[in-house]
């Protein structure tokens, strides 16, 4: 095969999807997993089973990790650290930016190079052209292995700081989880009022579809340091989010989420932003202790 060989360590749902995709594209693949039986079906498809993590590292320069988090990386690679020299370890496990920076230093101490990755799709998205993964770390190592990595998803290089891939990943996740919880809140509120999720859906979708306009409008103003109350005022927003909270209290549904929103607005009022835009909450969130 003319396709570069690759090692994949970590065969959860994500690692398994990656191995299948590499094999289907013609890459020779060496695999290792703590629970060895999870490699069985992949070996039947043509993957080579390494007897140890060290053997898996030694097999190929390019090593993809798909583990639960960075702590799992140390558990797997510490006993095999002597085999890290000269390896390009592409860690596609999710974690915080600081954990990925510490991981990169640790790999470098053992003579290897870490590329950090943040996969933005579930296992079913691996091998799909619309999927993407953030990468960060040494650019030359990324460019050298880009074509192989793009077998999995589109590759978006975010910079040399190893924490950047994790940062971009987390920027997406903080919005994903809070947005989806806001949807669950709307569904719960609808349900106790006799609506189904299907009834809520078109209104929810329309509300979400209006968001990109707000995002770009406020990004420009925030970068320019403009938080004036010419288009919206925090005090007006305060009244609105209290109506939201009271609607949820009235309905008897959980209030953790709307109460957290009211709390943030209240702190903005206390900080003296009542006549400014509600974008001034960014200043408060930037420095929560202030
Ligand atoms: P899993 O948590 O199911 O994968 C676990 C893998 O890590 C298994 O191979 C497991 O080994 C191994 N592992 C965990 N702890 C240890 C340890 N202490 N020592 C040795 N091996 C360990 O996750 P996924 O496969 O779903 O995902 C992998 C990564 O991809 C995660 O970081 C996840 O956040 C990220 N990701 C996942 C997405 C998804 O939808 N699944 C989407 C985007 C990113 P064993 O089989 O022996 O238990």
Q: Tens digit of pLDDT for each residue in 225-266?
A: 999 999 999 999 999 999 999 999 999 999 999 999 999 999
Distance CA 192, CA 225 (A): 42
- pLDDT for 282 equals 96
CA 131 to ligand 1 centroid distance, Å: 19
- pLDDT for 1 equals 56
Name the token pair of 223: 């970068």
Nearest CA to ligand 1 atom 15: 72
Q: Is 34 in the pocket of ligand 1 (CB under 6 A)?
A: yes
Angle at 93 between CA 165 and CA 60, to 5 degrees: 100
Q: Is 116 in the pocket of ligand 1 (CB under 6 A)?
A: no
pLDDT reading at 10 higher than 60: yes
pTM of the model: 0.90
- pLDDT for 2 equals 82
Nearest CA to ligand 1 atom 19: 72
122 CA: nearest ligand 1 atom: 40
Distance CA 69, CA 210 (A): 35
Pick from 52, 66, 170 the residue to mutate for probing ligand 1's pocket: most ligand atoms within 8 Å of its CB.
Answer: 66
Q: Is 172 in the pocket of ligand 1 (CB under 6 A)?
A: no
pLDDT reading at 289 higher than 60: no
Name the token pair of 279: 């974008």
Q: Tens digit of pLDDT for each residue in 21-78?
A: 999 999 999 999 999 999 999 999 999 999 999 999 999 999 999 999 999 999 999 9
CB 241 within 8 A of CB 257: no
State the residue for tokens 């460019």: 143
Name the token pair of 61: 């320069």
Distance CA 129, CA 36 (A): 30
- pLDDT for 290 equals 47
CA-to-CA separations, 240 to 20, 55, 232, 234, 283, in angstroms, rounded? 50, 61, 12, 10, 21
- pLDDT for 288 equals 58
Pick from 12, 54, 90, 92 the residue to mutate for probing ligand 1's pocket: most ligand atoms within 8 Å of its CB.
Answer: 12
Nearest CA to ligand 1 atom 22: 72
75 CA: nearest ligand 1 atom: 19
CB 4 within 8 A of CB 27: yes
Name the token pair of 145: 């292995």
pLDDT reading at 175 higher than 80: yes
Q: What percent of the chain has pLDDT over 70?
A: 99
State the residue for tokens 């079913």: 124
95 CA: nearest ligand 1 atom: 32
- pLDDT for 287 equals 78
What interhelical angle do 97-109 and 70-77 show, nearest 10?
A: 20
Strand partners, 90: 64, 115
For range 126-147, the mean pLDDT: 97
Q: Tens digit of pLDDT for each residue in 103-118?
A: 999 999 999 999 999 9
CB 3 within 8 A of CB 26: yes
For range 222-227, the mean pLDDT: 96
Kindly give, in sequence order, each residue whose CB lies less than 8 Å from that of residue 55, ignoring residues fewer than 6 positions away: 32, 83
């Amino acid at each position: 095969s003319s396709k570069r060989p690759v090692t994949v360590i970590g065969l959860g749902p994500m690692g398994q999807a990656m191995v299948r995709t590499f094999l289907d594209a013609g890459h020779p693949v060496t695999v290792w997993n703590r629970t060895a039986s999870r490699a069985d079906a992949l070996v039947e498809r043509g993957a080579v089973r390494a007897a140890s993590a060290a053997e898996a590292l030694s097999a190929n320069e390019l090593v993809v990790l798909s583990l639960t988090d960075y702590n799992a990386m140390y558990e797997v690679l510490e006993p095999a650290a002597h085999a890290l020299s000269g390896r390009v370890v592409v860690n596609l496990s999710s974690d915080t930016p600081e954990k990925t920076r510490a991981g990169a230093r640790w790999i470098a101490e053992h003579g290897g190079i870490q590329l950090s990755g943040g996969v933005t799709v579930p296992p079913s998205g691996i091998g799909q052209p619309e999927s993407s993964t953030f990468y960060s770390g040494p650019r030359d190592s990324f460019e050298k292995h880009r074509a192989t990595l793009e077998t999995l998803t589109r590759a978006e290089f975010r910079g040399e700081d190893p924490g950047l891939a994790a940062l971009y990943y987390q920027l997406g996740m903080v919005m994903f989880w809070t947005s989806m919880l806001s949807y669950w809140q709307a569904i719960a509120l609808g349900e106790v009022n006799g609506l189904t999720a299907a009834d809520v859906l078109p209104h929810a979708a329309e509300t979400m579809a209006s968001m990109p306009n707000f995002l770009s409008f406020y990004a420009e103003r925030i970068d320019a340091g403009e938080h004036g109350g010419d288009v919206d005022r925090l005090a007006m927003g305060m009244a609105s989010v209290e109506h939201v909270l009271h609607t949820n209290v009235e309905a008897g549904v959980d209030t953790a989420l709307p109460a957290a929103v009211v709390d943030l607005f209240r702190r903005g009022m206390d900080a003296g932003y009542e006549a400014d835009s509600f974008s001034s909450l960014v200043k408060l969130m930037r420095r929560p202790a202030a």
